[in-house]
Structure 1
Amino acid sequence: MSSRPLIYFDARMIAHDPGRFHPESPARLEAIEAMLDTLTAAKIDRRQAGEAGREAIERVHTGAYIDSIDALRGKSAQLDPDTALSAGSVEAAYLAAGAAIEAVTALFAEEHRRAFALVRPPGHHAEAGRAMGFCVFNNIAIAAAHATAQLGCERVLIIDWDVHHGNGTQHSFEERADILVFNTHQHPFYPGTGSVNEVGKGHGAGFNINVPLLAGMGDGDYAAVYEQVLIPIAEHYKPELVLVSAGFDAHYSDPLASMALTTAGFAHLCTVACQIADRHANGRIALCLEGGYDTATLTGCVRACIDVLSDAYVSAIETAPSDATRSAIEHVRRLFADFWPIGEAH
């Protein structure tokens, strides 16, 4: 098994151009590509993926929605107020989903322990039957569903640290116990979902965990949430695969949000996710790019996470959480006490 992280990148995804002034711009991947070009083959195993097949996408999206997207291949269109397509967008969306699938497949083939799918358009807002919030197909959800349907994976943990709640991912799996979704996000904020009381439904009750955080929260707040909520729950859930919706728009420099994470803070979150994967999932972890709209910051955060995946960077956070975050943690732990024996917060 290779110790190098598997990095999926395809320049064809740069052809997705939602408009001159749109924050989810081709410049995001162009900056990442320039950074990747500085990394040697000894550092990363860089690959391209093919387009996702329809069967894989239909595990998350409706046939009618897929048909509507297919009809727009090679065309420009406005799918919702935030989500626009150009001539290259549909191909990019299929490639993004394909990269997420192939990354997970490689992990179960024991080629690699760790992977990062550097994709666009992002995915975690996309619902079963509609595009939303810059997202066309829900890449991370498609990868998780593929793992359970095709790779024999019985328990998937999805960690979403994007500043926006991953509504599409939550709704994809809120009635399932084999895919646990853990979201931290600025609240109140777009898309308006992600209340702590949204715990899942039916067999999925207790397997959807939201930790909404007030604007301005930073490294110490996120580190405390991961230590006092995510790690104890993962200890009981014992995932066989860890997936991360890796958005970097909770960084203090991001123009679309109001959080205060640093690059070192994101590296710490990645470190914790890797530790969970190492402890429970034979090291299997795949990150999938979501948001992050300051290109220099985005590139720095992606590089920091690649360094973590390469065991070249371990970030420790010593900043204490705010009183508001302590209260949020206590609330979440009390609410989930009926589902998980996670003890008292500290």
Structure 2
Amino acid sequence: MQTAYIYHPDCLKHDMGMGHPECPQRLITIENELLTTGLLSQLQCYDAPLATMDQLVRVHTPGYIESIRQAAPTAGLIALDADTAMNPFTLNAALRAAGSAVLATNLVLAETVNNAFCAIRPPGHHAESDRAMGFCLFNNVAVGVAHAIEHHHLQRVAILDFDVHHGNGSEEIFHDNPHVMLCSTFQHPFYPYSGANSGSDRMINAPLRRDADGAVFRQAVKDSWLPALNRFKPEMIFVSAGFDAHRDDDMSQVYLSDDDYVWITQQIVSIADQYSQGRVVSVLEGGYELHSLARCVAAHIRVLQGKEI
């Protein structure tokens, strides 16, 4: 299967300061892993474009988008919240990150590629329609989903979010949209302290206790995600691909292994093959222990390529 790899060097220039876990080295380490394993040469590589105002305003308020533009500093750092900051290069990086999901959507729906992985930052799934938070400025996956619905006229789109933090922004944006299903696993109680009691027949939340391992995670997916997806029959799948529930990542207290990320990607591909003509767009979210992040992204991509692991 042909897999697109969407990236832009502008995403390396966004830097929230020394010691911040959401750092440029995340993308460098991923690319080094893909080079070392020979995977990068097997991918269809594309530069992420800048998202347009028309694309952003489908999921964010015009006032919020303008506030981010106005906040962009010409030097130094400015804080948007306790965890999220902008430097002079952040705005372009955030626009590239959102634009990557639009390009990936176009490529997959044009059948130029079977699926796509967006190696971008800043991440997006905490960004609400009018609020930056949790390292996120624009909700990259949401921008792609809205583009699939509004521009390509899809009727049923699923977001599958296995980041260790609840995708509160994605839920807020699409809570009342009948065209979107969100399936999310996340540690609870844990930042952003949402999701446990906000589910519905389309917002499928599966909170995990703080010491959950791969068996607990897999059972949660089998019990909650898979029946819901079989009912919904999505025409396209977007993935909020966070790797921070890995047992080596000290950003959380959930203990997933490399094999668990292979397994969940296999489930996603299986659902996509059954209902979505294999159409998957995966967008990087969290993952802060660099070695496990790089390994798991590479494994995730191998499964998207249809390779045996």
TM-score (norm 2): 0.96
Residues 1:220 and 1:120: Cα distance change in structure 2 (over 3 Å): same
Please state if 1:266 is matched with 2:261: yes
Please state if 1:217 is matched with 2:217: no
AA of the residue aligned to 2:48: A
> Which residue of structure 1 lines up, in the alignment, with residue 113 of structure 2?
112
Contact 2:204–2:228 (Cα < 8 Å) also in 1: no
Contact 1:18–1:86 (Cα < 8 Å) also in 2: yes
Taking the aligned partners of 2:39 and 2:213, their CA distance within structure 1 comes to 32
Deviation for aligned residue 1:313: 3.1
- Which residues of 2 match residues 259-298 of structure 1 at below 5 A? 259-298=254-293
Taking the aligned partners of 1:36 and 1:72, their CA distance within structure 2 comes to 35
Contact 1:184–1:210 (Cα < 8 Å) also in 2: yes
Please state if 1:36 is matched with 2:37: no
Deviation for aligned residue 1:71: 2.0
Q: Partner of 2:42: helix, strand, or coil?
A: coil
Deviation for aligned residue 1:11: 1.7
Deviates most, 291-300 or 73-82: 73-82
Residues 1:41 and 1:208: Cα distance change in structure 2 (over 3 Å): closer
Aligned residue pairs total 306
> Which residue of structure 1 lines up, in the alignment, with residue 308 of structure 2?
313
Deviations 1:269-325 (A, max 9, x none): 0110011001000000011000000011110110010110111135xxxxxxxxxxx
Taking the aligned partners of 1:116 and 1:291, their CA distance within structure 2 comes to 14
Identity of aligned residues (%): 38
Deviates most, 110-119 or 242-251: 110-119
Deviation for aligned residue 1:227: 2.0
Give RMSD over aligned pairs: 1.3
Taking the aligned partners of 2:264 and 2:128, their CA distance within structure 1 comes to 26
User: Which has more radius of gyration?
Assistant: 1
> Which residue of structure 1 lines up, in the alignment, with residue 230 of structure 2?
235
Taking the aligned partners of 2:40 and 2:159, their CA distance within structure 1 comes to 28
Deviations 1:201-255 (A, max 9, x none): xxxxx11111111012121112212222212221111000011100000000112
Deviates most, 36-45 or 7-16: 36-45
> Which residue of structure 2 lines up, in the alignment, with residue 23 of structure 1?
21
Contact 2:4–2:45 (Cα < 8 Å) also in 1: yes
Residues 1:40 and 1:298: Cα distance change in structure 2 (over 3 Å): closer
- Which residues of 2 match residues 1-346 of structure 1 at below 5 A? 3-38=1-36, 39=38, 43-73=42-72, 75=74, 76-195=77-196, 197-200=197-200, 206-314=201-309
Taking the aligned partners of 1:232 and 1:126, their CA distance within structure 2 comes to 28
Deviation for aligned residue 1:74: 5.3
Deviations 1:3-54 (A, max 9, x none): 2211111121010000101110111111112223343565211111210011
Q: Partner of 2:248: helix, strand, or coil?
A: coil
TM-score (norm 1): 0.86
Q: Partner of 2:146: helix, strand, or coil?
A: helix
Taking the aligned partners of 1:236 and 1:40, their CA distance within structure 2 comes to 35
Contact 2:161–2:167 (Cα < 8 Å) also in 1: yes
AA of the residue aligned to 2:182: V
> Which residue of structure 2 lines up, in the alignment, with residue 335 of structure 1?
none
AA of the residue aligned to 1:272: Q
Runs (4 or more) in structure 1 with deviation over 4 Å come to none
Contact 2:149–2:155 (Cα < 8 Å) also in 1: yes
Taking the aligned partners of 1:230 and 1:113, their CA distance within structure 2 comes to 23
Structure 1 stretches lacking a partner, 5+ long: 201-205, 315-346
AA of the residue aligned to 1:292: G
AA of the residue aligned to 2:199: V
Contact 1:215–1:259 (Cα < 8 Å) also in 2: yes
Structure 2 stretches lacking a partner, 5+ long: none
Q: Partner of 1:71: helix, strand, or coil?
A: helix
Contact 2:237–2:276 (Cα < 8 Å) also in 1: yes
Q: Partner of 1:112: helix, strand, or coil?
A: coil
Taking the aligned partners of 1:227 and 1:164, their CA distance within structure 2 comes to 19
Taking the aligned partners of 1:223 and 1:84, their CA distance within structure 2 comes to 35
Taking the aligned partners of 2:195 and 2:295, their CA distance within structure 1 comes to 28
AA of the residue aligned to 1:57: L
AA of the residue aligned to 2:236: L
Deviation for aligned residue 1:191: 0.4
Deviations 1:129-178 (A, max 9, x none): 11100000000111111110001211001011000000000000111121
Deviates most, 178-187 or 214-223: 214-223
